[in-house]
Structure 1
Amino acid sequence: MHILVSSNPLITAVTNDDGPPSQQSSPYIHAFVQTLQKAGHVVSVILPHQQRSWIGKAHFVGQVTKPTYFRPGTLHADDGITLDKPAKPDEDVEEWVLIDGTPASCTQLGLYHFFRDRGPVDLVVSGPNYGRNSTSLFSLSSGTIGGAMEAAICAKKAIALSFAFYSRDHDPKLIAGGSRVAVKVIEHLYSNWSPEADLYSINVPLVPDVESHKIMYTYALQNYWTSGSSFDEIPATEGDQDPESHEQEIRQTGEVVDSDVEKQITRHQHRHFKWAPKFGDVQRSIEAAPPGNDGWAIGQGFTSVTPLKANFMHTSDVEPGELKLESDSSPIDPLEVKEPSFHALINYEDPYVQPLILSALERKLPPSSYRLISSLSDLPTPSTPCLQIRSYESLDFHHLMAHPQTSLANAYIIRKALIRKHWLAHTISSWLSKHPDSILKNHVKPTPDFELDYAEFLDEALVEAYELHESFARNAPLADNAPEREWWILKPSMSDRGQGIRLFSNEDELRSIFEEWEADAPDSDLSEPDSDPDNKPSDRNNDGNESRSAAAAIMTSHLRHFVAQPYISPPLLLPSLGNRKFHLRSYVLAAGALRVYIHEEMLALFAARPYEPPSSSLDLGIHLTNTCLQPHPRSSNPHPNPVHLLSTLPLPFPHTSLTDQISTATAQLFEAAARAQMVYFQTLPNAFEIFGVDWLVDEGGTAWLLEVNAFPDFAQSGPEGEGVVRGVWEEAVGIAVGGFFGVGDERGFFGVGEEKGFFGVGEDKGNRKGGMRKVLDIDLGRK
């Protein structure tokens, strides 16, 4: 069979979009061509002379296309040579054609202008692409598929071939195995071509033993970019990057994080932009879709085979026929076009959350009520109504404070009274001293806090920690493994992801913890503490920043504050879920100054291993329930599922017992912070914020407060909790955003015809499972 390999190699005529053999950008083409040749096929190769990925089925209009000639060298080595002139007829050398054009142009020229002496082309193979081409997000822009599509509209059988790699080591054994699978599938398809297919898209995963894995017919998953712009702004002085280097950069990083630097407002800003696709959107769409699509198959280690049509099909919901316009229609006066109620700058800088926020806006607010922008400089005027939903560090609080009637943001400026562990302890103790009958006394354990720079000063630091001294005295006569022994949990006040958490039961054990950290920490980590403004980097994903070493995380300049929480024992254990310790994560919405809502569906986050009391084992995998400590990815996690919905837990008492306790205690907690610590929790009428509040349930069914997290790491909820996170954001948008700007569908969260409240939206109808329950509504006089 005569096979044209073009733009991404295949049989007969072979092309690709990655260019000639290169360990950096086109590592599979040479091995694949050799495998075709060994199978007895006549292979003609025509390729772009350089990287042409993401170009689809394009042609360069007006360009004079010129060929060069490539002689491949050693397999898996970049020692081929390119010549300006073809070999002479009597030279016995293998020679490919390189074109300074696109994959589709290679196909055209290979079919009609080169290789005529070899007879008609039976099949065009475009590939193997360096990377997968699955789902519509990849396929619609793929130069590999574009090369095959060009052959299809020239009435030739065509196959787009892609190799999904998981390592950039380019293992020759994996490449050889993938090439053999590809050739066998191609030969089968050629002999069993579906009359409905114009071309096929094949994705072969480069994994060990791929030849023994399943080969699956799949459908192409229809998905969308949802995380915002696929372009990143770069300095206007930055030089252009050649396509091959930029494609390699994308492959290495997987995804480029958005950046958004505020600039002076002008009519137009002189900015440069770089293509930066958000690959996380693809993975999330695959995880949300049912099995059977091409992306799913690759994730299972299967080879996917997707038959395609070479056209854009019309939708099935439109019948052919005349479209009649309204008889009284008239041209639209541009002056009468209604401006949106507000402009929205949505850049949460979290690929898990960003699409959920955009979806919440679409579901809860009329499309015409808002317009998305990429920078505050895009506002028509500084006073134009504006919503900012961004990471804490990126929020423009100056703009928020300058325009209190028209600007809304997703965070309060100062809220350390809740989110700093030592300040939280002060907030509660201060409130209880003035309100001794407060419900908080039944849900918060006394929590000593202290400051410490060096272990040698521990005695001085604990002078006023009376609860610890009394506990140490009670423990003194007890054996180390005595069940009656009291245990404490040491927590750095501003740490996250379980960093620095340790268990201790006497002063010597506590001292040894700090001595261990000092021994491990470099001198630069033991510097003087900085000031403590509220807008620290640790405010973002307070329970989800990147992990660092324990010593560096704890003894750095701004982490010298510590709290000691009594170990709650025994915790509630559920035999059917492995007798693992767990805590509850409740999502709380604080809006304006001040209404507080709690999402009634909560998450239960479980430890990795079955519970044992501290007297038996100090293994943190038993005692810590933070899911970021669980093995990843979860698909290979040998431990049971770490996340469950509270409503699904087999509790020995009604679920409402916990939701009622947590709702009541949450209301009192936020009121305590707002009234007793007004300097350190400054509510604003034009701000709202979602907090993650953690609770531990003891054996008797009492919920005890653990901590409050600003910008909680929603991604740790995983797929099990995505519905909860989605619901939290949808109802936050309905309550805070829709209410502030006076837009939204009252038939959604609030119902029809109800009285407008403080935020301009209706009152909620009491308790709603899975929805928001309003637990606090106070007027702090901040209008």
Structure 2
Amino acid sequence: MASSAELCTTTAPRTLCYDRRRPFGARSRCRWARGRPTFGAAPPSHAGEGPERVLPASVSFSSCLRPPLYYNAPAKVTEQPIDRSKRQGQRLDAPAPSRTPILTRREHLALAPPPPANLTAAMHILVTNDDGPPSPESSPYVHCLVKHLQEAGHVVSVCLPHTQRSWIGKAHMIGQTLTPTYYRPGKNVHADEADAVGTTHHRPAPSGDVEEWVLVDGTPASCVQIGLYHFFQDRGPIDLVVSGPNYGRNSTSVFALSSGTLGAALEAAVCRQKAIALSFAFFTRNHDPVIIESACRHSVRVIEALYQRWPTDDSVDLYSVNVPLVEDVERNATMWADMLQNYWSAGSCFEEVDADGAGDAADEEASIREGPGGEADVKDGTDASANAKRGHKHKHFKWAPRLTQLHKSVDESGPGNDGRTVKEGKTCITPLKANFAMAEGAFSRKEFVLPPLAAATSQQDLPVRTKNPAVDGSSPPLIRAIVAYEDPYVQPLILSALRSLGLGDKLDLVTELPSTGDDGVSLASLLPASDTRTLQITPYEAIDFEFAASHPQTCLVNSYMIRKALIRKHYLSSTVDHWAAKNPSSVLRRHVQRSEAFEVDYAEFLDDALVEAFDLRESMARNDEAPADDNPAAREWWILKPGMSDRGQGVRLFSTMEELQGIFDGWEAERPDSDDEGDDDDDDADGDGEENEGAGRGDGDYITTSHLRHFVAQPYVHPPLLLPSEPEPRKFHIRTYVLATGSLRVHVYRHMLALFAAKPYRAPWEHSPTDIDSYLTNTCLQEQQQQQQSGASPSSPPIDANGTSLTLRNTVQRFWSLPLERATLDDIFTQICASTGELFEAAARAMPVHFQTLPNAFEVFGLDFLVDAAGHAWLLEVNAFPDFKQTGGDLSSLVEGFWRGVAREAVAPFFGVEGSVAAEAGDGERADMVLVKDVDLGRR
């Protein structure tokens, strides 16, 4: 009978085509018949197609006897499309071999039925190895595997060591500068075929039409790093790293611990990439191309099945797969197997040689693998040891491991381990963690059920990669979450909320931003690929809006770019006026006080600035005309607010023109000289970042020049709602946390806060205009004043044992714990929800230039409401980036619950993980985020 090598010498011409889905016109081979022999269970009924030969059934490497096969040699080479359901090497018209188990082994205990094969998605696969570029002596398999992966519809990128690096493990060469070269593979894939070895070049090809691999003068682990992060980014994210096929088995622990193939897969695993180490175990020195092709086809099926069924519970980081090079490898069982724990026996793994006797490293490796005592010669278990030498003598030491000792340990082991499974001609899969420990061995000695060969996936069945891979029901890919909020109070609460999504290692957290000077942070520099699914939660100034705008499907940021229609008080007044004019029945008419907006550059021009503030001027004129001894309660009192201040700065009460002029004259007298030449262009900026509530404006209460432009004056709400249970009632306002998502959904967080003034409330005519502690409820100002009185540092205010500021301990309470009737609390909350929802719609529709939503953004706001004595809620202001730390340590759980709601309502839906989050959150927690507005602004 002709040898198997002789049966494969006839090769048909193959045509090259280009798949438009592959970047650079990556080359794939059209599937044409190559004149391969076919096998059948019975002799052919027709004649003239070639001589007929009988092949004996394989009994050495299978647990089941099989009938003889009839070989039909092809009469001639023809070019015709091949049906992938009839893959090369498949036995045609033959009944499926018996799967009767050997009861003493129970090796065919099946797993759950695999999902349909046509669900396997096209992947971007990085291939590396430890054997180097294709070579008949040291790397005979890699080109064949790459070809089959490409034919299966996958995008394949290749980064290999430039020479053989076997037995090197997971090493990097410290101090060495790695240099790439570029390998263009030959036309044929097998070492014994013409044009099998490609060419190496020092520079890459100028055209992307040339298939080109990257060779690195480093280790296999270094090749993984270079391939993942420095090449191939324009081909899309890498889904899987395949290391191999190794020239020889990597079963049992002694082989695995030294394997460069496993070392590369381990490097990928610690880079949070799925990885498979693939090794081909050979039993003969004759490398049959038919068997190699069959092993590569089988490996592709195993790789696709493992990726498709990859555990989502972090129980596995990588797989070690050993495929025996035997006939019928595609039909033999594929088994789960534990790794056999074995050891070197007594004696050295090095052989002493004369200093001049060291040979070429590649030749030495071949002799180890294929020579006496190697993998291809396992019958003789003896090995001569080196003679003992006395004294010191200059000598060299050649790597000469005694592999027969390892083969003997396999022979003596029980069933179910990887070495024994490979020896029996079966493929074995060992799940591993990247910590030198095997993963849970629950599947040991069970069969890994692959899709049937007849149902193998065709390229036409492979779905095109979508921008949101989570929509196909597979486990979500990695999410790079950049969380650097620069607030030690709220940063850990945000991280805890994100971890509550239950993504495990799918969530890659980055908690520090690089120092970039005045250029800002480039989000692309923090990502492994431009289409990495990205969440950015940072201060406004650090958000990369340009990157977010160009990646609306994969990048979510924590702020809208423009929202001054809400957060600047004079714009807020204009927003409400425009909306109320078009909607006379709007609830905003009843929950936002009318405002008079004006601009002042210098105090001496105040009178000119009030020319168009008709209501304000008329009110102050009436107050001026009232007799001095008249009842001051009859006056109409106003509250002055700078349009761009925060932390209660610049808020004053007045009732006459003289009092108002005195306020501005006092600010101008207190202003430092350095502020005389301020920036007068704040209003022209598109960004809204500086209006963050927690940003601060300095330690003084003066108003800088940049604030001396826009002011609003509103009728003062008197009397406010006071708590009757307090002996000296204090004024309070309600802080409401609000989430705005996309374009546009608005949620109100049910757990609100009540922030109290420092002193008992007094009517505006009963205290000095500078005595703000009785009517200002801003806790930031109270804490600042206490620090000044106590001499404490602003960065380290006095706190109690729970980390709560001593100032906040008595000034911040839960809204729902206030000593008011439940009906009163419910009514106030209903008013707040109604006015909040309509306010955001008013900003989006009436002021679209100054409030621009983004479909891939969310933002949290702090809205302040004041309730009057009649129980009517009035909106005071809207704060972007609210100062959460004013909540205090005692109520930090309230803030954490809000951020869990943000993660649930904003982050999870964007990245397609709502199901797992909904399962984790209870009904009460889901009800905390009250949806008050859901409008479609048409922005996608």
- TM-score bin, normalised by smaller chain: 0.5 to 0.7
Distance 1:751 1:467, change over 3 A: same
1:715-766 CA-partner distances (Å, limit 9, x unpaired): 01112431221111101011111000101445638979xxxxxxxxxxxx8x
Q: Aligned letter for 1:464?
A: E
Structure-1 residue corresponding to 2:654: 504
Match of 2:563 among 394, 415, 426: 415
1:642-687 CA-partner distances (Å, limit 9, x unpaired): 0001100012443110110000000110000000000100001000
Matched position secondary structure for 2:681? coil
Whole-angstrom CA distance in 1 between matches of 2:621 and 2:682: 36
Identity of aligned residues (%): 51
Whole-angstrom CA distance in 1 between matches of 2:595 and 2:496: 40
Pairwise CA distance, 1:474: 3.0
1:489-510 CA-partner distances (Å, limit 9, x unpaired): 1111111111111111111111
Match of 1:569 among 718, 737, 741: 718
Point out the more displaced range, 650-659 or 397-406.
650-659
Pairwise CA distance, 1:634: 5.0
Pairwise CA distance, 1:543: 4.8
Asked whether 1:538 is paired with 2:690, we answer yes
Whole-angstrom CA distance in 1 between matches of 2:815 and 2:926: 11
Q: Aligned letter for 1:733?
A: A
Task: Map residues 298-309 of structure 1 onto 2, 5 A cutoff.
Answer: none
Structure-2 residue corresponding to 1:548: 699
Asked whether 1:488 is paired with 2:657, we answer no
1:419-452 CA-partner distances (Å, limit 9, x unpaired): 0010000000111111111011110110111110
Asked whether 1:633 is paired with 2:798, we answer yes
Q: Aligned letter for 1:698?
A: D
Pairwise CA distance, 1:547: 3.2
Structure-2 residue corresponding to 1:601: 751
Whole-angstrom CA distance in 2 between matches of 1:330 and 1:475: 92
Pairwise CA distance, 1:567: 1.0
Whole-angstrom CA distance in 1 between matches of 2:858 and 2:807: 39
Matched position secondary structure for 1:604? strand
Q: Is the 8 A contact 1:365 1:734 kept in 2?
A: no
Residue ranges of structure 2 left out of the alignment (5+ in a row): 1-227, 232-438, 449-473, 514-522, 787-796
Q: Is the 8 A contact 1:445 1:704 kept in 2?
A: yes
Q: Is the 8 A contact 1:365 1:743 kept in 2?
A: no
Distance 1:769 1:396, change over 3 A: closer
1:204-225 CA-partner distances (Å, limit 9, x unpaired): xxxxxxxxxxxxxxxxxxxxxx
Q: Is the 8 A contact 2:483 2:495 kept in 1?
A: yes
Match of 1:529 among 660, 670, 680: 680
Pairwise CA distance, 1:367: 1.4
Match of 2:493 among 332, 339, 356: 356
Q: Is the 8 A contact 2:757 2:811 kept in 1?
A: yes
**Cα RMSD for the two superposed structures:** 3.0
Structure-1 residue corresponding to 2:819: 650
Q: Is the 8 A contact 2:563 2:688 kept in 1?
A: no
Q: Is the 8 A contact 2:808 2:888 kept in 1?
A: no
1:2-24 CA-partner distances (Å, limit 9, x unpaired): xxxxxxxxxxxxxxxxxxxxxxx
Match of 1:345 among 461, 479, 482: 482
Residue ranges of structure 1 left out of the alignment (5+ in a row): 1-264, 269-321, 332-336, 753-764
Structure-1 residue corresponding to 2:295: none
Whole-angstrom CA distance in 2 between matches of 1:479 and 1:444: 32
Structure-2 residue corresponding to 1:781: 938
Matched position secondary structure for 2:639? strand
Task: Map residues 30-69 of structure 1 onto 2, 5 A cutoff.
Answer: none
Task: Map residues 321-470 of structure 1 onto 2, 5 A cutoff.
Answer: 325-327=442-444, 340-373=477-510, 376=523, 377-470=525-618
Larger Rg: 2
1:510-534 CA-partner distances (Å, limit 9, x unpaired): 1111111111113432336124224
Matched position secondary structure for 2:482? strand
Match of 1:473 among 621, 637, 653: 621
Matched position secondary structure for 1:344? strand
Q: Aligned letter for 1:530?
A: D
Match of 1:669 among 821, 826, 839: 839
Whole-angstrom CA distance in 2 between matches of 1:744 and 1:365: 11
Matched position secondary structure for 1:358? helix
Matched position secondary structure for 1:779? coil
Matched position secondary structure for 1:576? coil
Q: Is the 8 A contact 1:734 1:749 kept in 2?
A: no
Distance 1:638 1:413, change over 3 A: closer
Point out the more displaced range, 482-491 or 421-430.
482-491
Pairwise CA distance, 1:403: 0.6
Q: Is the 8 A contact 1:388 1:408 kept in 2?
A: yes
Structure-2 residue corresponding to 1:63: none
Q: Aligned letter for 1:628?
A: C
Whole-angstrom CA distance in 1 between matches of 2:446 and 2:507: 26
Q: Aligned letter for 1:701?
A: G
Pairwise CA distance, 1:608: 0.4
Whole-angstrom CA distance in 2 between matches of 1:593 and 1:513: 41
Match of 1:516 among 648, 666, 677: 666
Q: Aligned letter for 2:657?
A: E
Task: Compute the TM-score of the two structures, normalised by the length of structure 2.
Answer: 0.45
Structure-2 residue corresponding to 1:213: none
Point out the more displaced range, 739-748 or 457-466.
739-748
Task: Compute the TM-score of the two structures, normalised by the length of structure 1.
Answer: 0.54
Pairwise CA distance, 1:479: 4.0
Q: Aligned letter for 1:556?
A: T
Matched position secondary structure for 1:458? helix
Q: Aligned letter for 1:616?
A: E
Matched position secondary structure for 1:557? helix
Pairwise CA distance, 1:365: 3.5
Distance 1:769 1:623, change over 3 A: farther
Matched position secondary structure for 1:401? helix
Q: Is the 8 A contact 2:639 2:652 kept in 1?
A: yes
Q: Is the 8 A contact 1:600 1:769 kept in 2?
A: no
Matched position secondary structure for 1:512? helix
Pairwise CA distance, 1:338: 7.0
Whole-angstrom CA distance in 1 between matches of 2:695 and 2:765: 29
Q: Is the 8 A contact 2:600 2:708 kept in 1?
A: no
Q: Is the 8 A contact 1:603 1:721 kept in 2?
A: no
Q: Aligned letter for 2:535?
A: L
Task: Map residues 723-742 of structure 1 onto 2, 5 A cutoff.
Answer: 723-742=893-912
Q: Is the 8 A contact 1:422 1:449 kept in 2?
A: yes
Task: Map residues 151-230 of structure 1 onto 2, 5 A cutoff.
Answer: none
Q: Is the 8 A contact 1:427 1:672 kept in 2?
A: yes
Distance 1:606 1:751, change over 3 A: closer
Structure-2 residue corresponding to 1:623: 775
Pairwise CA distance, 1:351: 0.5
Whole-angstrom CA distance in 2 between matches of 1:550 and 1:570: 26
Whole-angstrom CA distance in 1 between matches of 2:741 and 2:640: 32
Structure-1 residue corresponding to 2:874: 704
Q: Aligned letter for 2:699?
A: R
Point out the more displaced range, 461-470 or 655-664.
461-470
Whole-angstrom CA distance in 2 between matches of 1:643 and 1:487: 27
Whole-angstrom CA distance in 2 between matches of 1:398 and 1:782: 17
Pairwise CA distance, 1:368: 3.6
Matched position secondary structure for 1:371? strand
Asked whether 1:588 is paired with 2:757, we answer no
Distance 1:698 1:770, change over 3 A: farther
Pairwise CA distance, 1:558: 5.0
Aligned residues: 448
Q: Aligned letter for 2:571?
A: W
Q: Is the 8 A contact 1:601 1:769 kept in 2?
A: no
